[in-house]
């Protein structure tokens, strides 16, 4: 390792002591100055910095807004309960038993009733899908 270090030191000394040979120093100076002037100005970086700050502030406001909507959701905006299953919507909400339903009925009877309501809803939904798909196919045939 010492031989490599000695070689490195000698090489470094030669570089430090050797003066550069320039054919035309005026041309070199002009070339350096022209390249400095050709560099892009700082305006684009200022605009980029300004836009990034504004977008960061907007993102922080949106995050705060979403957190406040999640944590402090008003109770009066919640969905009202439907009195019967005929008016119930199955999209993520619970269905309710009709008003005249016997309160003494067992869990199994309630489960069967709601299961039948669900099956009817799914049948109606599949009919709607088939109807809309047939309309889409007929419209595509007309277009093409």
SS in 3 state form for 73-118? CCHHHCCCCCCCHHHCCCCCCCCCCCCCCCCCCCHHHHHHHHHHHH
CA distance 95 to 68: 29
Q: What is the pTM of this model?
A: 0.29
The better pLDDT of the pair 17, 20 is held by 17
Q: pLDDT grade, residue 58 (50/70/90)? A: very high
Q: pLDDT grade, residue 74 (50/70/90)? A: low
The better pLDDT of the pair 123, 69 is held by 123
CA distance 34 to 27: 10
The better pLDDT of the pair 1, 135 is held by 135
Average pLDDT for 22-40: 81
CA distance 101 to 86: 13
Q: What are the pLDDT digits (tens) for 93-136?
A: 455 667 677 777 777 888 888 888 889 889 988 888 888 777 77
For residue 47, give both structure tokens.
């605009």
- CA angle 91/96/101 to nearest 5° reads 155
pLDDT of residue 75: 56
**Nearest alpha carbon to residue 90 among 115, 72, 108:** 115
């Amino acid at each position: 390792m010492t031989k490599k270090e000695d070689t490195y030191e000698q090489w470094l000394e030669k570089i430090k002591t050797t003066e550069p040979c320039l054919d035309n120093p005026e041309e070199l100076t002009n070339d350096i100055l022209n390249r400095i002037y050709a560099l892009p100005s700082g305006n684009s970086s200022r605009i980029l910095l300004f836009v990034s700050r504004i977008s960061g502030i907007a993102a922080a406001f949106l995050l705060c807004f979403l957190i406040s909507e999640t944590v402090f959701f008003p109770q009066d905006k919640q969905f009202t309960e439907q009195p019967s299953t005929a008016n119930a919507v199955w999209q993520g909400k619970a269905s309710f038993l009709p008003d005249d339903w016997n309160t003494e009925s067992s869990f199994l009877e309630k489960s069967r009733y709601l299961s039948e309501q669900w099956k009817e809803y799914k049948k109606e939904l599949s009919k709607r899908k088939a109807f809309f798909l047939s309309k889409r196919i007929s419209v595509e045939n007309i277009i093409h």
